[in-house]
Amino acid sequence: MGTVFLATLSPMLVLFCCIVIGFVLRKRSVLPETAGTVLSRLETYVLVPALTINTFRRYCTVSSLQENYRYTLAAVAVLAAAFVIAMLLCRAFAKEGYRQKIYAYALTFANYGFMGNAIVPAILGEEVLYQYMMFTLPLNIGVYTWGIASLIPRGESKEPWWKRLINPPFLAILIGALLGLTGANAYIPEFLSNTLSNCAACMGPVAMILTGFIVGGYRVKTLLGDYKVYIATLLRLVVLPLVFLAALHAVGAPKETLLFTLFAFGTPLGLNTVVFPAAYGGDTNTGASMAMISHTLCIVTIPLLYAVVVSLA
């Protein structure tokens, strides 16, 4: 178990170093404050779509869909449980409605995208990333419908929920699947294929630099002062993943489903609880605090939980 922990700790430390780089860049004003917006758009419009297209075009076939759809169904069940638990617990963290929504989002969704997509190929291998993305498909739908709507202050957005699904990361899934299912991927020129692969390789490091950069815009002392954030972080990183893993193990779920659940629901809080409230003048301190604390502690919690899952197999 100790060997597994140490093997998993190494890639986690790589990601943490990238977070520290982003943090220092912000604190030392090496990059302007607007760099956070630039990096965020680079991730959303280029790097994440490149990773998604590159993965789906290579591994999405009719037979693979038939073999892996069960991961999507498992994710629906876990996501439903996470949503119910989050709605029950969020009232204990805040009295004000909007902050309740921030906690509800944080307890429902972890950083399954930026961090999960970086951890899975580093620990399990690149060929497993497609299966993981099949697992996180319901999470993508949940984030871009209820998730984002809950983070936007009431009355600030008139956009219907279905329009939020028309975004680069989600469209990339459709494009990659189309290339794979039709066999058109075989006709993509080598230079284009290499461009997708190189951009995809940048997704993880840039995402973690972005995390550190955004957190670096706040006073560390301020972010460490709310005890409720520590409770939410404990729930996010340890308690909820253990509950889901125990339930899945009890019903005989395969090892892969357990691992995908860990990396989708046991990763730290993402940046949406900072980015979207900031765009509409909402509270960003709570989200930034959870992002900083959870991204720091996950360096240890994820390897520990991974070692537990491996020992169960």
Contact call for residues 93 and 236 (beta carbons, < 8 A): no
- The span from the CA of 110 to the CA of 142, in Å, is 12
pLDDT tens track for 191-218: 999 999 999 999 999 999 999 999 999 9
pLDDT tens track for 133-164: 999 999 999 998 899 888 877 655 566 767 77
Contacts of 4 (CB under 8 A, 6+ apart): 303, 306, 307, 310, 311
Return the biggest CA–CA distance within the chain.
56
Amino acid at 25: L
- The span from the CA of 176 to the CA of 174, in Å, is 6
Arithmetic mean of pLDDT, 286-297: 93
61 CA to centre of own chain: 25
Contact call for residues 152 and 140 (beta carbons, < 8 A): no
CATH code for the structural domain at 2-312 = 1.20.1530
Among the listed residues 211, 270, 296, the one whose alpha carbon sits nearest the alpha carbon of residue 21: 211
Is the confidence at residue 281, as pLDDT, over 90? no
Name residue, tokens 């609880």: 273
Arithmetic mean of pLDDT, 21-49: 94
**Average pLDDT of the chain, as a whole number:** 92
Query: What are the extents of the domains in the chain?
Result: 2-312
pLDDT at site 283: 73
Arithmetic mean of pLDDT, 31-52: 94
- The span from the CA of 47 to the CA of 199, in Å, is 5
Tokens of 171: 């469209």
Q: How many CB atoms lie within 10 A of CB 165?
A: 13
pLDDT at site 5: 87
- The span from the CA of 303 to the CA of 313, in Å, is 16
Phi, psi of 275 (to 5 degrees): -65, -50
What confidence category does residue 3 fall into, taking pLDDT thresholds of 50, 70 and 90? confident
147-153 contacts at long range (C-beta below 8 A, 24 or more positions apart)? 147/105, 147/108, 147/109, 147/272, 148/272, 148/276, 150/101, 150/104, 150/105, 151/101, 151/102, 151/105, 151/272, 151/273, 151/276, 151/277, 151/282, 152/276, 152/280, 153/98, 153/277, 153/280, 153/281, 153/282
Question: Is residue 229 classed as helix, strand or coil in its secondary structure?
Answer: helix
